[in-house]
Structure 1
């Protein structure tokens, strides 16, 4: 949201209250620094009259993290913040002297100079990482006739566009020469956010617009720090797009809180950030296998499902999870949690038969209750649905006729919803696809009194937490997994998330990857997407290229809208391509599963943008068409019909996975041409890769006939850890031209030098 008209002017209808002078600085207890900033320079006593103050409070919830709260009028309710699950008391050292005040926490310090002009700076390890100078902190008073951005953000079709407010609080931080900004959730435009206006406001907008399902008010830069805005409502970013020398973020209301998080490197920032807001739960090994779906509006019944499953097995295409999309329930009844008896007359028997085939089962959910469902009247009578201010149940006809929205701020409503899920789990359902969660209205009241604008983004967190909790309780820790579309800060604790409604084109395939890379730089470790695209039917070429891309990630799903995504529906080569990449992924499971465990421990994503893994390489800074899978495998999906692809290899020795050829790169581009059965896949110098022998399932005994493959550049003490799904673990270490094992490796493993 832009408030200025160029460098000199303010937009009509805007009255800025800028922090112009640090008038008084004092310690507020042992660990907090409080600054009273006047909105004009005080030259004489009379200047203190009729003069607004902004109170700036510095604190620290963790080492290397400094919180800043800006307040104009503090008497009203504070905006809803996120669950800072890692926050602790007692951090931060305050110093106040005649020159100003500072707060130091770990390696990072914030300092405010006494007097005018107002100046706030952040320093770490002997260098300034960000500054907030004169006119960089403000409360903006907005008249009804103010000219802001004109069009509200959000999904207007869904009635979820936010309204303009009468006041906004903002902060601008310096954007240095060459400083690049990443993150802000799963965004499908350019990976580098410089020059963009970004609205943190969940919307069901597909993958080809500026709207996003997963909005996260957290960004990081290549200067070794990140910033989290602690507000669950609408946050507007101007990333060098209003003041080109600054990153601006603003929220509606009289206060703003944010945290500057220092990590030294992008990976270090993500480690500290996820320590504050939470790291992903462990996901089960079986979830890494191929998920096969009914697709959305296609015709299906148990015979269809059985035919798909049996044909995949006959063609040696391993499937781990079968997913039933929306129409497992009767139309107009979503969600009533009841199998449609016309197409699935024996759900208990069907689920048992699928389990006998070695499959897990996923079913689709959303947080809505259609009026036709018998559960609607029950939920309405008990007060379990979100209400309008007049006390009536909020309803509309979009998606499901007359549907209501479950109020997850009501503990009884949450338990009621969860009890229906428990019944499904007892029946044999293993996991849930938690769809929607973005079309959340504003003209409503919540059971706990939450402000509707702050609940719009937060709703998805409560929804996914409710479902995930059931799976953890019923299936056990480490066995719970979602397939979720919407998210906000903290959503990474509830994996897995998928990229939403893409189209069946090369362009959409590329924008899908950009979304996943952006989400990874926002603290999310596990991610998936619809192989082949969702809307439309891909041609055979697009499908085969997408198969390679989709199976070189953590989670892989065949899913579409109005057409099936079984490979033989495209051509026989698609079957072979699926076989090649499914078996490749399964052979990599000892590596991938360990990377997933590490992600749960550190917050470093499994799929890594090049800028995350190579922060000192300027050639990697803008790359959004390739990534690292874990620390050792470089993947460059093919986004062209011709098979031509450009891939950048950072400095070092890279081994071609397919040929074994070694490329000594000085940070150079290569143009390659690939058939459908390969993509640019390179192994990083010094890698030690555990390769599994079982290419039929993702949750096998990884130590059985395990091969430890040592690549050029590995030195003594290089190694790899392998953890089996049952928890047995071993460390394999290179030394003196051989490999030794420490732990539960057993005696059926071997090693080879690539």
Structure 2
């Protein structure tokens, strides 16, 4: 027995020695796996599989450096590294023929944090970086706002080749409304987001010959692969990389009106007086070019004689109408050379890396605009005819100039506004690129055509912007191009849709002031009623939209595309003509003169926004009819939203100043076992985030909310009268409207609330 035990031990030691010998010769298959929490990398026949809890959601076939393919041969966890770090050994299959000492092997470092994989590699000779991913029969969304290709409205880019570089020129772009938002970011229906952190231009080829190819003309691999079951979750981790989106003030979320051409201050004040006479509430206006002296009636950045004494008339708008005023700005002087730091040999664009230029730019805006009450800007022209080859004060590679300039424009204007007004300011731009989100309040959808096709195309633009992760988007309601007056039904439908945009801004005239004005008093009383209802609805929704805009870092974009919320539902991939506004509302704009359209309701339970007694099961397509005064809107079951009166703009002229606000908490319980959360940002309590919860069991509904600063009313949608109602542990009485299926209960301000309703 003793001899046998010795023999067994000898075999065991021999096995260990053999394993050690194999380890010195190279990694075994077991060594080509790396576990980091719930995530795992595995090197297999098709490439590098990336798994979450045993399910592969992405596979990297190979990398490319200067167009030379790099095959992943080893996956190693470096000694002494954390559990969130690994290394890929990549063998390059040749040379580029140009680079001295081109490497034969390369190390790609990988870090994993909370489902976000970061791949990094560099070499002095690299100028072009590519990534090849195995196509998993997935669908791809993002990268650009333009309707690509050929004005196609579907957001699904599967099978397409897309250039990522801010540009607007060309006849096709004219048809596409000059949409100019871009990003090196896309979302896949397989459950991940791809972000290449560079300003260099790129090209993406989706699902071609079995691969998806990501390419940028840059010198380093700086790429993120972000796992998430929905667009919201992916964006949450994306914002942790690029920074949280910019906060938005209350006044910017109400109705905003403007003219493309103002004759002067008298016209602005006259417009506001007419709106007040019609009792159509507004919260802001902006003055578009021309209003200044100098090149293109802008370069001096002052107010001309027609707008003399701006502190007086802007003060009147602030004081008497409760509204804020913004202005148009551009990053160019249009041939006026009386400005330091213009780009050499292209003396019209301001060099935003030149310290002298920035000092003068800020000085003019501060003394001539901010000091007299301008609170924000419409930012234009960064995407037009930009000189790619100009030499900057701080050199930028030609491949990065257009995208970098758009980023700097947003950053610089935000710094100027923040220095003058802190957080109480707003800026919105036509051109945007990734990493502008912390500096840009909103994107506006370009110079849209004032017809049904223009409105439809603009909605498709909005969906693409949502996938890219720009939280607040708005249309030029009524359209930009053309001579002013538009068809009354088109105007009504655009207003009704605009009220459900991230930003609601309405144009009142034709391009350059041509043709008849588009002011509501030049239309029928029927249109005026639609205008008023849209504006009043927008005002009532300010508590909700303010909360959405200022929690977008965790809750995603305001106008959520259908595939963003339901990536596993193949019916959503081509949908562009409906979306979710926040988590609660499904909005389906009317995009033709017809009063009928189809609406797809995803899985779940849905209610008619205008009549909560009308309920619908999801996973079905409805044919709906919309009267002149409304568009189809549905409320999702298992949702919470807040409306109310917390801000007065021009409506203070007939309603009086706001003395004490009032909120309405709308609660639509889900099925038994479901719960939901809404984060209310209390603007009247220092913007504190207050987490409201709604839960449903078989026989009970519970609503909990932290103390609110104003009185409120709960409106709880129930199919039947409750058996009992309990408020903070004490039984109480509530009113149940059996016809409307609504239980109503007033709540006092200043105390935490737990409402329990037994059924």
| TM-score relative to the length of structure 2 | 0.75
SS in 2 for 1:377: coil
- Offset of 1:565 from its aligned partner? 3.6
Q: Partner of 2:750 in structure 1?
A: none
Task: Select the residue among 221, 244, 259 that pairs with 1:279.
Answer: 244
SS in 2 for 1:483: strand
- Offset of 1:598 from its aligned partner? 1.6
- Offset of 1:248 from its aligned partner? 1.1
Q: 1:211 to 1:589 in 2, by over 3 A?
A: closer
In the alignment, is residue 676 of structure 1 matched against residue 628 of structure 2?
yes
Deviations 1:106-137 (A, max 9, x none): xxxxxxxxxxxxxxxxxxxxxxxxxxxxxxxx
SS in 2 for 1:482: strand
Q: 1:613 to 1:271 in 2, by over 3 A?
A: same
Q: Partner of 2:110 in structure 1?
A: 59
Question: Any residues of structure 2 matched to 1:487-498 within 5 Å, and which?
Answer: 487-493=432-438, 494-498=440-444
State the distance in 2 between where 1:50 and 1:291 align: 59
The 8 Å contact of residues 595 and 627 in structure 2, kept in 1 or not, is answered as yes
Q: Partner of 2:312 in structure 1?
A: 349
- Offset of 1:61 from its aligned partner? 7.3
State the distance in 1 between where 2:467 and 2:583 align: 15
In the alignment, is residue 592 of structure 1 matched against residue 592 of structure 2?
no
Question: Any residues of structure 2 matched to 1:112-151 within 5 Å, and which?
Answer: none
State the distance in 1 between where 2:494 and 2:67 align: 50
Q: Partner of 2:378 in structure 1?
A: 433
Q: 1:210 to 1:678 in 2, by over 3 A?
A: closer
State the distance in 2 between where 1:453 and 1:292 align: 38
SS in 2 for 1:269: helix
Q: 1:378 to 1:51 in 2, by over 3 A?
A: closer
In the alignment, is residue 266 of structure 1 matched against residue 231 of structure 2?
yes
Task: Select the residue among 572, 587, 595 that pairs with 1:620.
Answer: 572
Q: 1:237 to 1:56 in 2, by over 3 A?
A: farther
Q: 1:414 to 1:62 in 2, by over 3 A?
A: farther
In the alignment, is residue 708 of structure 1 matched against residue 665 of structure 2?
yes
State the distance in 2 between where 1:574 and 1:351 align: 29
Q: Partner of 1:561 in structure 2?
A: 511
Question: Any residues of structure 2 matched to 1:459-538 within 5 Å, and which?
Answer: 459-477=405-423, 479-493=424-438, 494-536=440-482, 537=484, 538=486
Q: Partner of 1:663 in structure 2?
A: 615
Q: 1:746 to 1:543 in 2, by over 3 A?
A: closer
Q: Partner of 1:68 in structure 2?
A: 119
In the alignment, is residue 235 of structure 1 matched against residue 181 of structure 2?
no
In the alignment, is residue 386 of structure 1 matched against residue 343 of structure 2?
yes
Deviations 1:499-557 (A, max 9, x none): 11110121221111111111111111111110011111432222211111111122111
The 8 Å contact of residues 39 and 51 in structure 1, kept in 2 or not, is answered as no
In the alignment, is residue 577 of structure 1 matched against residue 530 of structure 2?
yes
SS in 2 for 1:491: coil
- Offset of 1:35 from its aligned partner? 2.0
State the distance in 1 between where 2:472 and 2:146 align: 16
- Offset of 1:712 from its aligned partner? 4.7
In the alignment, is residue 405 of structure 1 matched against residue 363 of structure 2?
no
Question: Any residues of structure 2 matched to 1:538-557 within 5 Å, and which?
Answer: 538-557=486-505
SS in 2 for 1:692: strand
In the alignment, is residue 456 of structure 1 matched against residue 402 of structure 2?
yes
Q: Partner of 1:186 in structure 2?
A: 145
Question: Any residues of structure 2 matched to 1:721-740 within 5 Å, and which?
Answer: 721-727=679-685, 730=690, 732=692, 736=700, 739=703
- Offset of 1:420 from its aligned partner? 1.6
State the distance in 2 between where 1:62 and 1:327 align: 50
Deviations 1:289-309 (A, max 9, x none): 1111122xx352122111111
State the distance in 1 between where 2:101 and 2:643 align: 72
Q: Partner of 2:752 in structure 1?
A: none
- Offset of 1:701 from its aligned partner? 6.9
Q: 1:264 to 1:689 in 2, by over 3 A?
A: closer
State the distance in 1 between where 2:671 and 2:471 align: 27
Q: Where does the alignment leave 5 or more consecutive residues of structure 1 unmatched? A: 1-13, 42-48, 80-167, 388-392, 396-403
Q: Where does the alignment leave 5 or more consecutive residues of structure 2 unmatched? A: 1-64, 149-153, 718-741, 743-759
Deviations 1:46-84 (A, max 9, x none): xxx99963635123274422233465xx325x77xxxxx
Q: Partner of 2:93 in structure 1?
A: 39
Question: What do you get for the CA RMSD once the two structures are aligned?
Answer: 3.0
- Offset of 1:210 from its aligned partner? 10
State the distance in 1 between where 2:308 and 2:495 align: 33
Deviations 1:553-601 (A, max 9, x none): 22111125245442233433221111111111211222221112221x4
State the distance in 1 between where 2:72 and 2:612 align: 64
Q: Partner of 1:690 in structure 2?
A: 642
Q: Partner of 2:596 in structure 1?
A: 644
- Offset of 1:15 from its aligned partner? 10
The 8 Å contact of residues 669 and 694 in structure 2, kept in 1 or not, is answered as no
Q: How many pairs does the alignment contain?
A: 616
Q: 1:28 to 1:201 in 2, by over 3 A?
A: farther
In the alignment, is residue 220 of structure 1 matched against residue 187 of structure 2?
yes
State the distance in 1 between where 2:251 and 2:416 align: 19
State the distance in 2 between where 1:541 and 1:625 align: 18
Q: 1:324 to 1:713 in 2, by over 3 A?
A: same
In the alignment, is residue 377 of structure 1 matched against residue 338 of structure 2?
yes
Question: Any residues of structure 2 matched to 1:233-382 within 5 Å, and which?
Answer: 233-240=200-207, 243-252=208-217, 255-295=220-260, 298=261, 300-330=263-293, 332-356=295-319, 357-372=321-336, 376-379=337-340
State the distance in 1 between where 2:178 and 2:155 align: 15
Q: 1:412 to 1:180 in 2, by over 3 A?
A: same
In the alignment, is residue 175 of structure 1 matched against residue 135 of structure 2?
yes
Higher Rg: 2
- Offset of 1:454 from its aligned partner? 1.0
State the distance in 2 between where 1:422 and 1:254 align: 39
State the distance in 2 between where 1:407 and 1:558 align: 32
The 8 Å contact of residues 221 and 266 in structure 1, kept in 2 or not, is answered as no
Q: 1:441 to 1:359 in 2, by over 3 A?
A: same
